[in-house]
Amino acid sequence: MSVQGPLSSPPSRPVMAEARPQFYIKLSKPTVTRVLIVVILAVFVVEVALGFMAYRSLAALTSPSIEVLVLMGAKVNEYIAQGEVWRLFTAIFLHGGVVHVMFNLYALYALGPLLEGYTGHVRFLAIFLISGLYGSLFSYALSGPVSVGASGAIFGLLGGISIYFLKYHNNFGMQGRAILQNMAIVLVLNLIIGFSSGFIDNWGHIGGLVGGALITFGIMPRYRQPVAVRPGPQPLEVVDRRVLEAIWTVLCLLLLAVGVYVTTVVRFGGFAG
């Protein structure tokens, strides 16, 4: 009978791979995007109803009359110069026809969840509204015809997405670069289409783009690693910059107000009445 001698070294154990922390950005649901879509649709239904009641024409079901649009708050330069500055806001939610509103709703549906997901509800709403207001301002300053539509705000979303992924493109790798390329292509194509048509408010689009990029630059989230790091997936913490973001938003609105005042004085000789 043989006897087994002592082992010269302890038996080897399988080496377990060390779990490392995997950081990610927690996305927000597109709640504000959905609310905006509903609001824009509801406003368009009111436009159509008023037009049909006023003119009893089936054409009003697809293309609200200019009188209805002006009544509901279209951008009319002369009226704004007379003190109806609120038209810079209301014009964002009005549309000149079914094709117009459906195109903008599709763009909002496509772009909104992406930007709202990364910036959150409040920031996204601020970007949308300030972009729309800057679009109205540029149109007021540089374009004469009556104007309506959320296109300026939509261009602002393009600007906001571009600024965000320019800041964080290294964190997203190929996905971030692809998003930036797509935004550039969409922007260039829309500008080409706009400048090749005489019925599109290109200055409103450019103003929205500028406003969206400007406000996003100051209020987009900044991230840091969690204080307690643990193995596995873990969301990054958003740095609390609410005071700075509020100040930046106020500065953007003050710049907007200055633009309205200067435009009114230089182009229209001051507020009438």
Domain ranges of the chain: 27-224+235-266
Report yes or no: 264 and 258 within 8 Å, Cβ to Cβ.
no
Which range, of 103-112, 131-140, 178-187, averages the lowest pLDDT? Answer: 178-187
pLDDT tens-place string over residues 128-177: 999 999 999 999 999 999 999 999 999 999 999 999 999 998 888 888 88
Active-site residue flag, 121: no
| Active-site hit among 136, 139, 147, 151 | 151
Mean of the per-residue pLDDT values of the chain:
89
3-state percent breakdown (helix, strand, coil) of the chain, nearest 5: 65, 5, 30
Q: What's the pLDDT score for residue 18?
A: 55
**Which of the given ranges, 9-18, 184-193, 254-263, has the highest pLDDT on average?**
254-263
| pLDDT reported for residue 7 | 35
CATH number of 27-224+235-266: 1.20.1540.10
pLDDT band at 273 (very low <50, low <70, confident <90, very high): low
Nearest to 267, CA basis, from 100, 27, 77, 36: 77
Q: Give me the mean pLDDT over the 114-136 stretch.
A: 98
Nearest alpha-carbon partner for 250 in 78, 126, 104, 89: 126
Is the pLDDT reported for residue 42 higher than 70? yes
- Residue 151 is among the residues annotated as catalytic for this protein: yes
